[in-house]
Amino acid sequence: MTNHTDRPADFESYWDEVDRQLAEIPAAPELDHLPIRSNEHCDVYSVRLTSVGPYRIFGYFSVPKNGNGPFPGLLLTPGYGSVKAVPDYNDRMRYVTLQVIHRGQRLADKPYAAAYPGLMTERIDDPENYVFRDIVADCLRGAEFLLSRPEVDTDNVAVMGNDLALITAARRPQFSIVQAADLVFHRLMEARQRTEAYPLEEINEYLRTYPEREEAVACSVAYLDPIHHVGDITATTSLSVGDPGSTSGAAWLERVSKNFGGPVEYYQLTHEGGTDHDTVDAWMAEKLGVQPMSRFLTTV
């Protein structure tokens, strides 16, 4: 049995093929203004884009009204779950934002509606057809759209999210800032043995049912492990660090943190929502040249 953290021998060609497929498929963006989501500070649009498959994905695209632009950009890669909301009001006031909604999530669920739980193991025994390969393509398509927009200051664009944000920044080097937290695929085959929490418990349930597929599963998820991607990130990255001894703690993340191609800064989470949000917000705002904003009242 191979080491589950080894870089697959065909890693580069595996992801180059995704880029090749995207290059052959026009994005065909379709934007519709959403008056109910727009206000005096921003215009919000629904956007549909064609990704690999071909498959039409969805997103919320927002442009500030305060000033003439171009404005800093912010790509929000989707977390695990069926519904993704419109970007936060404070972000829409300061950045050209795009919240990507990948195939299977609500509003991008025709003809394919993802199961929760279930998405994590969709075709996981076949690396070439694992659903997360397509989901990465959806994020890359979203990145291409945001970076192509005239409203965006392409010297100041951030991407925010989990492993998908890191992979996107690695494969689309135009990003200058990355904020990453809650990694799922890093050392996944080890991490799954230390938890009963979802989504990793989906892997455990799958392998209890199909124990003979463990090697195939390990192969599929290895392509997603950010440790093999972050060497191509040239942006400045903020990596949120969880509790000591956890699978988001500093010791667990040590190997991946040493592999980044660009500078890395660490934020130790306090698990106090206001403190954590405001610290991350202020860090990104400073890097992108805008004012920090809190989502919370500081006085009552």
**Dihedral angle at the C-alpha atoms of 293, 173, 156, 176, nearest 10 degrees?**
60
Contacts of 124 (CB under 8 A, 6+ apart): 130, 131, 203, 206, 213, 216, 217, 220, 221
What's the pLDDT tens digit per position in 66-93? 888 999 999 999 999 999 999 999 999 9
- Write out the two tokens for 184: 């799922």
The dotted CATH code for 11-287 is 3.40.50.1820
What Å distances lie between residue 154 and 43, 49, 71, 73, 177, CA to CA? 19, 20, 9, 7, 11
What's the pLDDT tens digit per position in 140-193? 999 999 999 999 999 999 999 999 999 999 999 999 999 999 999 999 999 999
**Measured over all CA atoms, what is the biggest interatomic distance in the chain, rounded to whole angstroms?**
59
What's the pLDDT tens digit per position in 13-34? 999 999 999 999 999 999 999 9
Give 140-208 as a DSSP string. Answer: HHHHHHHHH-TTEEEEEEEEEESHHHHHHHHH-TT--EEEE---SSTTHHHHGGG---TTHHHHHHHHH
Domain spans, the chain: 11-287
What Å distances lie between residue 257 and 180, 200, 234, 283, CA to CA? 11, 22, 13, 18
Q: What whole-number distance in Å separates Cα of residue 143 and Cα of residue 102?
A: 12
User: Kind of pairing, strands 42-51 and 177-180?
Assistant: unpaired
Question: With 50 as the cut, is the pLDDT of residue 277 above it?
Answer: yes
Question: With 50 as the cut, is the pLDDT of residue 1 above it?
Answer: no
pLDDT of res. 300 = 53
Q: Report the pLDDT averaged over residues 249-268.
A: 96
Mean pLDDT, the chain, rounded, equals: 96
pLDDT of res. 295 = 84
Percent of the chain predicted with pLDDT > 70: 97
- The dihedral sign for the CA sequence 186, 190, 196, 200: positive
Contacts of 27 (CB under 8 A, 6+ apart): 49, 50, 141, 144, 145
